[in-house]
Amino acid sequence: MIPNEWRRIRSGSGDEVLVAIDFESGRREPGFSDLSRVLDIPAGIVQPTPPKVELGEDFGARYVDEWARLIDQNDLKVRAVLGYCSGGALACGLAERLNGLGKSVPVLLFDPDEVGGSMIFYQFMLAVQQFGDFLDPDELSDSIDRAREVCRDPSLSQVADRLPAEYEKVATRAFADIGVDEENISELSARFAQFIHYMLASWQIGYRASDERMLAIMSEGYGVPTQLRATIRKVPANHMEFLSSGEVAAIVTETLGK
């Protein structure tokens, strides 16, 4: 049974599912929904939602532990775990937890990325630049500079508090004159905070649980994370079109159809 709060991307013809880990933050490139349309396998696809886990020590481990607990509690029959970009590390961590529960599953990674301060800062910058038309340029620049300093700290100890607060402040000021109510701003800010927590969980876990039995499918020009141990398959596809690629779908079908 699929946990109620999880997103069902595609229904399957059997009782097996692919657990697809990604955070859809409004980006323009395709996601697992697009991949599902070109896959030729019977399994359904579900996407875990961010778990309600308190920040603190071992946050990343507890993040994937909660997903594993729900899979076990609901007796979900997992055919494979998929991870896209920064979800790659979380996919490896989840598979490790499932293996500990006696549920050994294949892992497929799609352009797995390595999260660090520079990536988190870049995502913050992308998020706040959408408000550029509604803010004084110096005000936006100051916000970006403050975020840059927070992300330069190798411990990333202030990221979870400072960046969501900075984002909410920017959003509130940007929307002040165009009638967006506080409830909508709070929802937008809460979603951004979830994204920051998702990236922090990925950063904490890293690719320590990866091994050569995992398959990493990589687009042209996309670098392999330094910690990652996996079988690498390169495909002649652009990252921005990656999960809608017929060649990527063919590799998944071939791998999981065995």
Model confidence at 26: pLDDT above 70: no
Q: Give the mean pLDDT of 22-31.
A: 79
Which position has the token pair 């696809």? 45
Q: Which two tokens stand for residue 21?
A: 């880990």
Looking at the chain, the domain(s) classified CATH 3.40.50.1820 span 7-114+206-256
Structure confidence at residue 177 as a pLDDT band (50, 70, 90): low
**Confidence category of residue 143, pLDDT binned at 50, 70, 90:** very high
With a cut of 60, say whether residue 258 has pLDDT above it. no
**What architecture is domain 7-114+206-256?**
3-Layer(aba) Sandwich (3.40)
pLDDT value at position 220? 87
pTM for the whole structure? 0.93
CA–CA gap between residue 217 and residue 222 (Å, rounded): 10
Give per-residue pLDDT as tens, 205-248. 999 999 999 999 999 888 899 999 999 999 998 888 899 999 99
Q: Which pLDDT score is estimated for 38?
A: 87
Over residues 182-198, the pLDDT tens digits come to 777 788 899 999 999 99
Tens of pLDDT, residue by residue over 55-97, are 988 999 999 999 999 999 999 999 999 999 999 999 999 999 9
Residue 56 is predicted with a pLDDT of: 86
Taking 80 as the threshold, does the pLDDT of residue 180 lie above it? no
The DSSP secondary structure of the chain, one letter per residue, reads: ---TTSEEEE--SSSEEEEEE----S-SS--HHHHHHH---S-EEEEPPPP----STTHHHHHHHHHHHHHHHTT-EEEEEEEETTHHHHHHHHHHHHHHTT----EEEES-----HHHHHHHHHHHHHTTGGGS-HHHHHHHHHHHHHHHHSTT-TTHHHHHHHHHHHHHHHHHTTTT--HHHHHHHHHHHHHHHHHHHHHHHHTTTT--TTSEEEE-TTPPPPTT--SEEEE-S--GGGGGG-HHHHHHHHHHHT-
Q: What is the pLDDT of residue 187?
A: 87
Share of the chain above pLDDT 90, in %: 69
